[in-house]
Amino acid sequence: MKYKTMLWAITVIASLGLNVATVLSANVFDALHGALSYVSPQALLGHGKSAQFNKVKLNNAQLKKQLKLKKHNMVQVKRISGRISKRVVKGVVRNTSSIMGEAVPYVGIGVMLAVTAADVYDGCQTVKDLNQMTALIDVNHQAVDEATVCGIEVPTVDDVKQQINQLLF
């Protein structure tokens, strides 16, 4: 306890002495002014509790905004993922249920082409959904070229018949 009192007393006496010396001596004033001119007022005042609190408050607001955006993106990703899952189930059911129709001679060509056209459409929608979903997760995502899948044209029944005839006859 004595050390704290003694330290406090020395600090007060030194402060008062420096104050008096600054007022009475131009050399002391110039020396202090020169030393303190290198320190900006913001540097002296910017380290207070208020500045720290404001910095933390601003950081907290930014984090809340980022969290809100991430939550929104996750809802979108779940929605898109659900669409893709339903599309895959529908495609698998369509493909397995069309086997009998595809096996029928001559008529099977039409069934096969219809199922293939539906698969191409579903593939196109899936690529679009995956691009959208990945963009929500990664802003630097390079989208897959949708035209590669979406631009595929399924031949007509007549085209297939003509190609078969050329191969067989």
| pLDDT tens column, 99-153 | 999 999 888 999 999 999 999 999 999 999 999 999 888 878 788 888 888 999 9
Which pLDDT score, from 0 to 100, does residue 98 have?
93
Polymer length of the chain: 169
Structure tokens, 127: 């690529």
Which pLDDT score, from 0 to 100, does residue 143 have?
82
Residue 42 predicted with pLDDT over 70: no
pLDDT in tens, 25-41: 888 888 888 887 777 76
* Max CA distance (Å), the chain: 119
Q: Is 169 helix (H, G, I), strand (E, B) or coil?
A: coil
Q: Residue 109 contacts by C-beta under 8 Å, 6 or more apart in sequence?
A: 157, 160, 161
- Average pLDDT of the chain, as a whole number: 88
Closest by CA to 146, choosing from 123, 116, 163, is: 123
Residue 49 predicted with pLDDT over 80: no
Which pLDDT score, from 0 to 100, does residue 144 have?
81
| Contact status, residue 141 vs residue 123, Cβ threshold 8 Å | no
Structure tokens, 54: 């404001």
Output the pTM of the full model: 0.61
